[in-house]
Amino acid sequence: MNQNPSFEQLQQVSEEQLPVAKHKLHGWTHFMGLYAGEHVAATEFVIGATFVALGAKTMDILVGLLIGNILAILSWTLITSPIATQTRLSLYTYLNKIAGDSMTKLYNWANVVIFTVISAAMITVSCTAVRFLFKIPAQLNWYPTNAWFVLVVLLVGAIVVFVAMYGFNAVSEFSGICGPWLFVMFGAGALVMLPALSEAVLGRTMLQGFGDFITIGDASIWTGVNAAGEPGIGLLEVIGFAWAANTITHVGLIDMALLRYAKRPIYGLCTSSGMLFGHFIAWIAAGIMGAGAAVLLKQSIITLDPGDVAYHALGLSGFVIVIVAGWTTANANLYRAGLAAQAIFTKHSRKKTTLVVGMVTVVVACFPFVFTKMLPLLTYAGLLVVPVGAIVFTEHVIFPRIGLTRYWAKYKKLTHSTPAVAAWGIGLVFGFGLNALDVMSFYYLFIPTWFVTAIAYTLLAKKHGAAVSYPSEEAAMKEYDRTVEAFQEHQAEIAPAPIVDRSTLSQALHWIARASLTITLILALITMFGSSDMSAYVENRERFYLFGFICTLVYFITAYWALRRKKAIQG
């Protein structure tokens, strides 16, 4: 087959700069697993306990988290996924296409800040487990109060930075096998804690129905009274946070990077594995575990950190869940921060920029406020990038419907899009201005901010050239797109066929891994439903601690072994 001369030029273009090829698209099961693994993390311990401390009520939690997470799923499905599957580009590439280099650099700076803070929070969360092992006091202030805690953060942080620089692919693959285990452990932790809560509230370890659960929740978990003894947040705030927690990825469109690989836009619904099974169940389970640990320790939940909670709910497996979940999440976000920094400082390698960003991240991680204030930090991070999502949505979806030209800045060969930068600035001033004036709940600030930015960008872009037609430039872009498609078809023809590992040993390893998770869940169910009194409960709980930890070791050994065999066969 003769190769088109244009293909040689495309071979020099980074794969990230081209639309995803058809032969590299994935089915819905890929995205179910992807979102399940990504949205069950160490932050769930913090967020679940925070809802308790904020004084939400039980029914507000159950109904509010369900509604809010469904709204988040719909945001991915109706906003992010259609744009991602139509363009097949990441947000970074598409933003550069419609707004030029200046806007993209500003956006990368925002990502450096956001992902640095999130990475720091995850390092701090992991350190709460390590500090528990060495009996270092819990860090309850915004600043560190113990030199040994700072040393632990520096050591754990150094490992995270090193892995993000040199071994991210291995961590990314390892993170993929963590999802099923994390689901089981969050659910198991809640089951193990409920008898202790029931004994404290009802005077018996056995629940007799859903009504008992509501009674326990109202009395000892989601009491409607916050840590200061005042009425807590209500249904609308719970809905707002559940929806706003991931605005950076759905309304902010960062998940275009993931969903550009989806075969169909409807695969946006696959985010339900992360939102309903992850956030909904995990946040509720974390609240139960936190309240249960507080009862067992006879302390207020606000004096406990994730290390305390996880250990008393899960035993030694609790150390594993906090360290692993925090570590893998920190690595992924630090890697993203390093990439964003490298896009700004193009003369330096990704490893060097990741090292510099990592050093800053570790210093920030020494200050516990980064995880104790996780709710507002996530919301403000979303508010920072939501205007960018509004600009991209407006250009891609709105402009063709109102007679304006999509990609007008590229057609004019602009490297600096004044309308995009100005609209982003207007959105930020408006959003954070509303917050300063306290005219509405900050969980919902992203909604009016999105609309104001979209309107501002439309008016400014129309004035600067979006109302003009560019027929020759449009024809050239369509010709380029056809060349890219032909190039990718050629690549698909010469690509080796995927190799599937169907060996007996690998199948056995998968079955053993699944069996270990099943046994862990059964042990938790026995603790929940087979504890007739506190004596039986303690016995069942200790059995769960021991064999649950053994099953944890078996799961990770067999699952990782199977992964390495798969990688070896695939070359």
Q: pLDDT tens for residues 251-293?
A: 999 888 889 999 999 999 999 988 988 789 888 998 898 888 8
Closest CA to 314 of 550, 153, 510, 121: 550
Q: What is the pLDDT of residue 372?
A: 67
Q: Tokens 């709204």 appear where? A: 71
* pLDDT value at residue 120: 86
C-alpha dihedral (345, 348, 350, 356), degrees to nearest 10: -80
* H helices, E strands: number in the chain: 24, 0
Q: How far is CA 207 from CA 213, 217, 535, in A?
A: 7, 12, 16
| Span 100-111, average pLDDT | 86
pLDDT for residue 227: 72
∠ CA(55), CA(61), CA(62), 5° rounding? 155
Residue 76 confidence (pLDDT) above 90: yes
Which of 3.40.470.10, 1.10.4160.10, 3.30.565.10, 3.40.50.300 would CATH assign to domain 21-384?
Answer: 1.10.4160.10
Question: What are phi and psi for residue 415, nearest 5 degrees?
Answer: -95, -10
Residue type, 234: G
d(CA 147, CA 186): 31
More confident residue, 242 or 122: 242
Query: What mean pLDDT comes out for the span 514-521?
Result: 96
Percent of the chain residues past pLDDT 70, beyond the cut: 92
> Is the confidence at residue 3, as pLDDT, over 60?
no
Confidence of residue 167 (pLDDT cuts 50, 70, 90): low
Confidence of residue 172 (pLDDT cuts 50, 70, 90): low
Mean pLDDT of 149-175: 78
SS3 (DSSP) at 297: helix
Residue whose C-alpha is closest to residue 258's, from 247, 245, 249, 246: 249
Asked if pLDDT for residue 159 goes beyond 70, the answer is: yes
Contact present, 269 and 73 (Cβ < 8 Å): yes
- Backbone dihedral angles phi then psi of residue 189, each to the nearest 5 degrees: -60, -40
Rounded CA separation 433/234 (Å)? 24
Helices (H), 16-133: 28-38, 43-53, 58-75, 81-87, 91-133
Contact indicator for 255, 390 with CB cutoff of 8 Å? no
Q: What is the pLDDT of residue 375?
A: 67
The Cα 370–Cα 356 span in angstroms is 19
Rounded to 5°, the CA angle 406-475-456 comes to 10
Under the banding of pLDDT at 50, 70 and 90, the label for residue 1 is very low
Range 246-255 average pLDDT: 90
In eight-state DSSP terms, residue 522 is H
Per-residue model confidence (pLDDT) at position 509: 93
Q: Is the pLDDT of residue 325 over 70?
A: yes
> Please, what is the angle between helix 534-570 and helix 316-344, to 10°?
40
Q: Which of 118, 115, 120 is nearest to 359 (CA)?
A: 120
Burial status of residue 496 (CB atoms within 10 A of its CB: 0-12, 13-18, 19 or more): exposed
Q: How many CB atoms lie within 10 A of CB 563?
A: 18
Q: Which residues contact 451 (CB under 8 A, 6 or more apart)?
A: 390
Using pLDDT thresholds of 50, 70 and 90, give the confidence band for residue 351: confident
Confidence of residue 108 (pLDDT cuts 50, 70, 90): confident
Which of left, alpha, beta for 203 (phi over 0: left; psi -120 to 50: alpha)? left
> For the chain, what is the mean pLDDT?
86
Assess whether pLDDT exceeds 80 at residue 13. Answer: no
Using the predicted structure, report yes or no on whether residue 133 has a pLDDT greater than 90: no
Mean pLDDT across 411-429: 91
Residue reference for tokens 């609790």: 318
User: pLDDT grade, residue 448 (50/70/90)?
Assistant: very high
SS3 26: strand
**Max CA distance (Å), the chain:** 81
The three-state secondary structure class of 57 is strand
Question: pLDDT of 459-507, one tens digit each?
Answer: 999 999 999 999 999 899 888 888 888 887 877 777 777 677 778 898 9
Residue with the bigger pLDDT between 64 and 152: it is 64
**Domain ranges for the chain:** 21-384, 501-571
- The mean per-residue pLDDT over the stretch 428-432 comes to 94
pLDDT for 2 beyond 60: no
Q: pLDDT-based confidence at 53, cuts 50/70/90? A: confident
* Per-residue confidence band for 171, with pLDDT thresholds at 50, 70 and 90: low
Query: Which pLDDT score is estimated for 365?
Result: 87
Among the residue ranges 306-310, 444-448, 512-516, 535-539, the one predicted with the least confidence is 306-310
pLDDT, average across residues 232-258: 90
Structure token digits, residue 460: 């400014």
Report DSSP state, residue 24.
G
- Side-chain-side CA neighbours of 225 within 13 Å: the count stands at 9
Instruction: For residue 3, give Cα distances in angstroms to 311, 390, 499.
Output: 61, 41, 27
